Amino acid sequence: MTDQPQTTFLGKQSDLPGSPEQATLDYVPNPRPSALYLTRFAVPEFTSLCPVTGQPDFAHLVIDYAPHATIVESKSLKLFLGSFRNHAAFHEDCTVGIGQRLFGEMKPHWLRIGGYWYPRGGIPIDVFWQSGEPPKGLWLPDQGVASYRGRG
């Protein structure tokens, strides 16, 4: 039996962090460090709060990254993203902040995040950030989220 990576939340009862700053992200060794590959997390029900009105904002996030030495443990990512439910920030701050935190802590070869925000007040806002040029030879599928077209 191989040694299991030490994680904070996996297999344990875990409360939602009070804020993104209080959230801990776990990183475990990349099981295929010599392979160039893409990992995708789709988060179709992301929620945060408008910093002006306090009303809820909703987005479909897509996080793509090419792992290097570590990968992010998905339960800790889920708890981190869930901590935004009571966090007041503009769409740009949420989207870019999530991408920058993951990139800064995990140090993948490359990372991108697409924030496809549902309209409130009549204007959908889509926010995109990436850490730089993707590595040569990395397969980059479309993120698969259509621009907002209305309800009809």
- Contact yes or no for 81/94 (Cβ under 8 A): no
Tell me the longest C-alpha to C-alpha distance in the chain: 55
Residue of 26, 57, 64, 94 marked catalytic: 57
| 94 annotated active-site | no
| Residues 91, 115 contacting (CB under 8 angstroms) | yes
The one catalytic residue among 50, 64, 94, 126: 50
The Cα–Cα gap between 124 and 141 comes to 23
Q: Pairing state of beta strands 110-117 and 56-66? A: antiparallel
* Ramachandran quadrant class, 115 (left: phi over 0; alpha: psi -120 to 50; beta: rest): beta
Residue with tokens 């009571």: 86
Residues annotated as part of the active site: 50, 57
